[in-house]
Amino acid sequence: MAKANWPEALAKLLRAAGILANFCHSFSIASAGLLRIVEKARLPGVPPFGPATKAANFVFRCFGGVCPLFQPSFNGKSTFKHMSIQLPVYLDNNATTPCDPRVVEAMVPYFTNHFGNAASRNHPFGWAAEEAVDYAREQVAQLIGADPKEIIFTSGATEGDNLAIKGVFEMYASKGNHIITMNIEHKAVLDTCKHLEKQGAEVTYLDVKENGRIDLAELEAAIKPTTILIAIMYANNEIGVIQPVREIAAIAKKHGVLFFSDAVQAVGKIPVDVKADGIDIMAFTGHKMYGPKGVGALYVRRKNPRVKVTAQMDGGGHERGMRSGTLNVPGIVGFGKACELCRLEMEQDAAHTSRLRDKLEQALLKIEEAYVNGDPAHRLPHVSNISFKYVEGEGLMMGFNKNIAVSSGSACTSASLEPSYVLKALGLGDDLAHSSLRFGLSRFTTEEQIDYTIEQVTNTVLKLRDMSPLWEMYKEGIDLNTIEWAHH
């Protein structure tokens, strides 16, 4: 019996897919251009959807909208010597990700044909919307191993964080007023806790270790009879460090305390399973996982224990009374689709981003006095935070930020002039915090973009060091700590 030559067949298939993808990509750009030309040529007073527009739209929808490998494109020419790449390069995916074209495709009908209110129970418009929301709720639940009834749609993770923490504080007031969190949480958690402190909450802010993870013994020691909530993020937005979530959950369970996790950066990127992880409440959002902005979810456990949070908005009693407000149906549909894609493609996305991230990191660490921030052993696959000593982050970004989008721990742009509190919490001096860049990759990041980034960042670091008095002193063997700086 002749055996099929699988590797070769697979290679052929992939090549064919690649050609098709390239074709689709070019076609989608061409058809988008055609669409624009048709739109522009339209005479005033002529109805917008003439046959030509419809044809162009059809072509665009067929080849542009559905092509999974369609890349967000910007107008820009590469100066990169090897091949032409699309500029600017987007490596700020911890801030937000591009919406996957397949997500957009799924959403579009819910702006137009199926525009109904999911709460309208008495006609087909409402039924279609409700059905779509139910389906999305399943897609979202499936990604995190939850029951669809445990998903509360929100406007995003800031709302989720607020609803979870304030909601627990109010609902469990009779049990206690003590909340434990940590000092590298997102501001949506920290500021919510600060707000509650004014209303009588007692909050413990745990320090993290140098590697960015909390000390479990410290966590357990902080628990008191009045403790009602432990709020520890799944993975950090600036350094990508993943917390020991299961161990935290075990401690919380042992002491009968609820465990809330802001999992914005983790969900969709690494396996998150609320049951196996032992999380009671969890906030996440669409736009960090190739979904749309303005939609997110709060997971609220229904069994062992059944958790309740007090609503923070009064109104029509949507979302089991926990979050009133007409549901953002197109957003929810897109969020659901994004969750489904992440579930199906997580493994390949993670392999792709971690390979490129490691390549980027290894190349940049060849630069003298460059350091990775955060524990590399417990880190999201697509994030790298690197300090380039003796150059300032914002100045560094200026060298390439027309062509490469990253972010910096330097806060030179803000009025406070304070560098990243997350990096400072790791024990980094302000100088190193000022010198950091965060790279966040996505499923759309290409090898060429990473090669280009390595070249640009390296050149700029070297150029700025030639201009840096600190670098000169370091090279002369002067200990910068012995200098009396004029602090301002």
Partner 1 sequence: MAYSEKVIDHYQHPKNVGTLDKSKKNVGTGLVGAPECGDVMRLQIEVDETTNTIVDAKFKTFGCGSAIASSSLATEWLKGKTVDQALSIDNMDIVEELNLPPVKIHCSVLAEDAIKAAINDYRVKNGMDPIQFEESVVH
Residues classed as catalytic: 412
Within the chain, what is the greatest distance between any pair of CA atoms? 82
What residue has token string 């930020």? 401
CB of 75 to partner 1, least distance (A): 17
Classified as helix, coil or strand, 211 is coil
Q: Is 488 in the site for partner 1 (CB under 8 A)?
A: yes
What residue has token string 């749309």? 292
Q: Is 471 in the site for partner 1 (CB under 8 A)?
A: yes
Q: Is 469 in the site for partner 1 (CB under 8 A)?
A: yes
Bridge partners of residue 281, in order along the sequence: 260, 300
Of 43, 121, 415, 482, the one binding partner 1 by CB under 8 A: 415
Q: Is 461 in the site for partner 1 (CB under 8 A)?
A: no
User: Which DSSP category does 321 fall into?
Assistant: G
The pattern of x and - marking residues 431 through 460 that bind partner 1 according to CB under 8 A reads x--x--------------------------
Phi and psi at 262, nearest 5°, equal -85, 110
Tokens coding 47: 């109805």
Query: Which residue, 189 or 396, is less far from partner 1 as judged by CB?
Result: 396
Q: Is 398 in the site for partner 1 (CB under 8 A)?
A: yes
CB of 487 to partner 1, least distance (A): 5
The beta strands (E) that lie in 113-226 are given as 151-154, 178-182, 202-206
Residue 467 to residues 92, 354, 390, 455, Cα–Cα distance (Å): 27, 33, 10, 19
Q: Is 377 in the site for partner 1 (CB under 8 A)?
A: no
Q: Is 482 in the site for partner 1 (CB under 8 A)?
A: no
CB of 397 to partner 1, least distance (A): 9
Of 38, 176, 395, 458, the one binding partner 1 by CB under 8 A: 395
What residue has token string 């299961």? 246
What residue has token string 């005033």? 44
327 vs 335: CA distance, rounded Å: 12
Positive/negative CA dihedral, 359, 364, 365, 367: positive
Applying CB under 8 A, the span of 33-41, 120-128, 372-380, 408-416 interacting with partner 1 comes to 408-416
CB of 421 to partner 1, least distance (A): 14
CB of 432 to partner 1, least distance (A): 9
CB of 53 to partner 1, least distance (A): 35
Query: Which of these, 345, 292, 339, lies nearest to 104 by C-alpha position?
Result: 292
CB of 418 to partner 1, least distance (A): 9
Q: Is 83 in the site for partner 1 (CB under 8 A)?
A: no
Q: Is 81 in the site for partner 1 (CB under 8 A)?
A: no
Applying CB under 8 A, the span of 235-243, 300-308, 364-372, 385-393 interacting with partner 1 comes to 385-393
Applying CB under 8 A, the span of 15-23, 24-32, 64-72, 478-486 interacting with partner 1 comes to 478-486
State how beta strands 202-206 and 178-182 pair: parallel
Classified as helix, coil or strand, 373 is coil
Query: Which of these, 410, 416, 384, 415, lies nearest to 397 by C-alpha position?
Result: 410
- Give the count of residues interacting with partner 1 (CB under 8 A): 32
Classified as helix, coil or strand, 363 is helix
Q: Is 131 in the site for partner 1 (CB under 8 A)?
A: no
Query: Which residue, 247 or 430, is less far from partner 1 as judged by CB?
Result: 430
Phi and psi at 170, nearest 5°, equal -75, -45
Q: Is 462 in the site for partner 1 (CB under 8 A)?
A: no
Tokens coding 153: 């749609």
Q: Is 191 in the site for partner 1 (CB under 8 A)?
A: no
Binding-site ranges for partner 1 (CB under 8 A)? 390-392, 394-395, 398-399, 410-415, 417, 419, 429-431, 434, 466-472, 480, 483, 485-488
